[in-house]
Amino acid sequence: MSESAVRIRDLVVYRGGALVLDGIDLDVAPGTVTGLVGPSGSGKTTLLRCVVGVQKIKSGRVTVLGRPAGTAALRHEVSYLTQSPTVYGDLTVEENVRHFAALYRRSKRDAAIVIERVGLSPKSRQLVRKLSGGQQTRANLACALVAAPRMLVLDEPTVGQDPLLRRELWTHFHNIARAEGTTIVVSSHVMDEAARCDRILLMRTGKIIADDTPEMIRKETQTDDLDEAFLRLIEAPVAVPQV
């Protein structure tokens, strides 16, 4: 077994005086797709921010690809999609993606490919502020993908996207994980989507309350419906064996 892509030990984070992450321990294997699921306010985004290295932490250790999270050397290797679009409204989709392509030393051709991938080719010459929210998220996703990093951290990338495109994007995530060995951590609050991951982490009030493959979670909670499994885990967190 190769070294973990992400290794988190006893991570504690406070934001604005409130405890947000309460002693997280986690290892993520390289080249896998990990889904981070949980209700809003459970600490998903904060955990992702820790992996990216933009979060102040109280205590604990976060190691990404063998280095402390946020180290300068990692910034070519890790790409982060935030929940709200951070693309520039006054630029076109193409200009946005090319800007990030240039920062990560990728070509204009790479930019065109990822724009195609997120289904925005017909809109590539449009100003981002004229696009819908879902399209802006996709433009943003293209900016994160164009970096072709070894580690991709995605905060709710598929909210508001149509089902067909969602399926395509998930297939794409799996493809780059398999083919290029990219490690992907995705947060989502849709259980149905998380079912496509190699592994699901279920978060609640700053703790990971379940950590397993979708199949095992279904089996342990004795339901096929992951939403129902989620409820059972939350209602009886002690009864469920934790891995």
Phi, psi of 27 (to 5 degrees): -130, 135
What are the structure tokens assigned to 240, written together?
A: 């469920």
Task: Choose among 151, 169, 150, 149: nearest CA to 159.
Answer: 169
Say if residues 6 and 28 touch (Cβ distance below 8 Å). Answer: yes
* Cα separation, 156 vs 166, whole angstroms: 11
Between 90 and 235, CB nearer to another protein: 90
Tokens 């250790």 sit at which residue? 61
Residues facing 64 on adjacent strands: 6, 67
Q: Out of 4, 9, 12, 15, point to the residue binding another protein (CB under 8 A).
A: 15
Q: What is the 3-state secondary structure (H, E, C) of 103-130?
A: HCCCCHHHHHHHHHHCCCHHHCCCEHHH
Residues 6+ apart with CB under 8 A from 190: 158
Question: Nearest-CA neighbor of 110 among 56, 125, 102, 25?
Answer: 102
The reply on whether position 102 binds another protein by CB under 8 A is: yes
Q: Where does this chain touch another protein (CB under 8 A) — which range of 4-12, 25-33, 102-110, 221-229?
A: 102-110
Closest approach, Cβ 170 to another protein, in A, equals 23
Residue with Cβ nearer another protein (54 or 236): 54
Query: How long a stretch of residues is the chain?
Result: 243
Cα–Cα dist 176/183, whole Å: 9
Q: Which of residues 126-165 bind another protein (CB under 8 A)?
A: 127, 143, 147
Answer yes or no whether residue 12 interacts with another protein by CB under 8 A.
Answer: no
99 lines the binding site for another protein (CB under 8 A): yes
Tell which positions 103-122 bind another protein, by CB under 8 A. Answer: 103-104
Residue placing its CB nearer to another protein in the complex, 106 or 196: 106
87 lies in the binding site for another protein (CB under 8 A): yes
> Residue 102 or residue 236: which is nearer to another protein going by CB?
102
- Are the CB atoms for 131 and 123 separated by under 8 Å? yes
Q: By CB under 8 A, is residue 228 in contact with another protein?
A: no
Judged by CB under 8 A, the number of residues near another protein is: 29
Instruction: Write the interaction track for another protein spanning residues 43-82; mark x where CB under 8 A is met and - where it is not.
Output: ---------xxxxx-------------x----xx-xxx-x
Give the footprint of another protein on this chain (CB under 8 A): 15-16, 52-56, 70, 75-76, 78-80, 82, 84, 86-88, 90-91, 95, 99-100, 102-104, 127, 143, 147
